[in-house]
Structure 1
């Protein structure tokens, strides 16, 4: 009987603390975050993967991402020096910010043109 009680308690506690799966995420998730995720407004990460980009736009985005990664690597290299030149680090960080701002602006332009010219929705038979 004790074994059944211990096993039952163990199973109940495991189910109680298990992570929730589905649209609502975990139980501590706020209502605004849940609403944003359900509407696809969860920010830069997930929304862009659903966006259809032309090959030129994909190439431009890839080039920008590579340039940003190169600058971040340059910052890491500067920080590895024994005597860090903080003016160089600051300048590279400014360059990164400029590249990120350009990329964000390009994505805004793409979204704006996509909203102005929506693609037709395919109708099922």
Structure 2
């Protein structure tokens, strides 16, 4: 990471690191069966306790929907690891970017659903 920061090659960190953090939050929230987003140990943000601000509604509302979708898909540990790798290493611009990813599930419907979640 130091190499990227000192040499000014932090393009990957500009977008992929925040995506990684949001993905981790969504996974943690989906696996913990919480009503909101688990942002740290014993702290969760729900529609009842977040500040009533239109910008936060636009940001957190879709994240809650994505969390619920991930929860219903019941993502396995192998799929989680593959998704983490895809977030950090691939461009994810088109569905064919996943062709050589080694995605563990043979279920094309689940694969497509996870792909649409990750691309958002």
TM over 0.5: no
Higher strand share: 2
Structure of higher RCO (CA pairs closer than 8 Å, 6+ residues apart): 2
Query: Which structure's CA Rg is the greater one?
Result: 1
Q: TM-score, normalised by structure 1?
A: 0.31
Q: TM-score, normalised by structure 2?
A: 0.31
Higher helix share: 1
